[in-house]
Amino acid sequence: MILTWRAGLLAAIAVVAVAIAGHWLAFVIATGLLVLVITVDLVLCPSPAKITVRRSGDTSIRLGEEAEVSVLLTNHNRRAIKATVRDAWTPSAGARNGITTLTIPARQRRLTRTTLRPTRRGDRPSGPVIIRSYGPLRIAGRQRAHHQAPWQVRALPPFNSRKHLPSRVARLRELDGRSSILQRGQGTEFDSLREYVPGDDVRSIDWRATARSTTVVVKTWRPERDRHVLIVLESGRTSAGRVGDQPKLDHSMDAALLLAALASRAGDRVDLLIVDREVRASVVGEPASTMLSTFVNAMAGVESVLVETDHRKLVAEVMTRVAQRSLVVILTGLDTAAITDGLLGVIGPIRRKHRIVIAAVSDPRIEELLSRREEPGDAYAAAAAEVDIARRERLVRQLRDLGISIVQGPPDTFAPALADHYLALKKAGRL
């Protein structure tokens, strides 16, 4: 049972009437009338328990977009019901227009719609549908929470770097010999024969084919295809730090999706591993047609864990997934202690057999701290930024001396920088 503001108003009027009368009998009469009015209004109120609820609508969207979920209400009462309906969701679902007042005639149905704009990745579950009905005097009413229509909307990674994909695919086509002629080199494979044109390298002439033809024939080459790329996302403590308005893990996911889309267009096989102290997600052997959507769904529910990554487990999981020589891309943070005390001590088995790229997003605020020297506090912050940059540079030099490639950059350029590094390796035949 619920009471509206009208019940409070009636109670206030009764108090004033009793005060004016100044007799205990007036109090009994006023109280009796108030209880009678509330009881009659409550008895005449249609039951919200006789309303059936069914949800439908979107089940997944990209973070930053809007989803729409509908609630179908069926009135099984013998009378029309005027009710306030609240479609409840978790706060991070970003529900709007979730409270509606409507009248449902007897034995009929009405539809309400709720707009969702999630603020976080992952599964956003619904709450109950709360129906509050009122009596004809709208003094009292009944309320019921319906839990029989659960719903869930999955907020997928936004893949903001998708806009960089067409330009990288165009460069990939050039490397692949579809837009320009490539000569033979390391990491290339035979593509086709064609007629010689002035300017071609004479070393590409196929003399056997020329002997069987009336014209000079040359060989064309393209980068090797069907290589293996393993993308490893480290979801431990270092990935929880925020750069801009997102955790480092989200920036890493964005770069991983761009790299995966580009590598699949190049004909390479791409696998995914997300790990900290345990494997949070793994995608192996997914065909190119469904690979990107599978990656996105695997990433959606993964959050950073505030523990140190078990690098021995990371290396063991990598070694079980890669047999032939592969490109292993580890997206992590360039934290000096985590890298030198953890990863470097156990990465030997991967380094001896595979090509390793370590990619990390950098915080542009560090550069901003270097440029501010007006106040004494700014000078201390700038000094701390200088120390951090020096440590990072020493770590990068140490990793490069071991033959490990490093890709780093601010959020706006991090994903395309990793894609460009992949193309550079492809062009140089170093995969």
Residues 394-422: tens digit of each pLDDT: 999 999 998 999 999 999 999 999 999 99
CA dihedral 287, 289, 294, 299 (to 10 degrees): 110
Q: What does the pLDDT read at residue 11?
A: 83
Contact assessment for residue 104 and residue 80, using Cβ atoms and an 8 Å cutoff: yes
Percentage of the chain modeled with pLDDT above 90: 42
What's the rounded Cα separation, in Å, for the pair 238 and 104? 54
Lowest average pLDDT, out of 23-32, 253-262, 300-309, goes to: 23-32
Q: What does the pLDDT read at residue 251?
A: 94
Residue type, 88: A
Adjacent-strand bridge partners of 193? 219
Binning pLDDT at 50, 70 and 90, where does residue 182 land? very low
Give the CA angle between residues 34, 37, 42 to the nearest 5°.
125
What's the rounded Cα separation, in Å, for the pair 263 and 286? 13
Reported in sequence order, the residue ranges of 178-285 that DSSP labels E, i.e. its strands, are 188-195, 217-223, 228-234, 242-243, 246-247, 269-275, 279-283
User: 166 pLDDT exceeds 80?
Assistant: yes
What's the rounded Cα separation, in Å, for the pair 328 and 318? 8
Tens of pLDDT, residues 258-298: 999 999 998 899 999 999 999 999 999 899 889 999 999 99
Cα dihedral sign, 26-27-28-31: positive
Binning pLDDT at 50, 70 and 90, where does residue 222 land? low
Phi and psi for 233 in degrees, rounded to 5? Answer: -105, 125
pTM strictly above 0.85: no
What's the rounded Cα separation, in Å, for the pair 257 and 243? 18
Phi and psi for 242 in degrees, rounded to 5? Answer: -95, 135
Contact assessment for residue 260 and residue 166, using Cβ atoms and an 8 Å cutoff: no
What's the rounded Cα separation, in Å, for the pair 197 and 301? 55
Helix (H, G, I), strand (E, B) or coil at 175: helix
User: 180 pLDDT exceeds 50?
Assistant: no
Residue of 350, 351, 298, 323 lying closest to 228 (CA atoms): 323
What's the rounded Cα separation, in Å, for the pair 274 and 221? 36
Residue of 316, 299, 306, 308 lying closest to 233 (CA atoms): 299
Angle of helix 24-43 versus helix 5-21 axis, rounded to 10? 160
Residue of 249, 230, 228, 316 lying closest to 278 (CA atoms): 316
Q: What does the pLDDT read at residue 191?
A: 57
Residue type, 55: R
Q: What is the mean pLDDT of residues 323-331?
A: 91
CB atoms within 10 A of CB 136: 12
Tens of pLDDT, residues 91-102: 999 998 889 999
Adjacent-strand bridge partners of 330? 232, 358
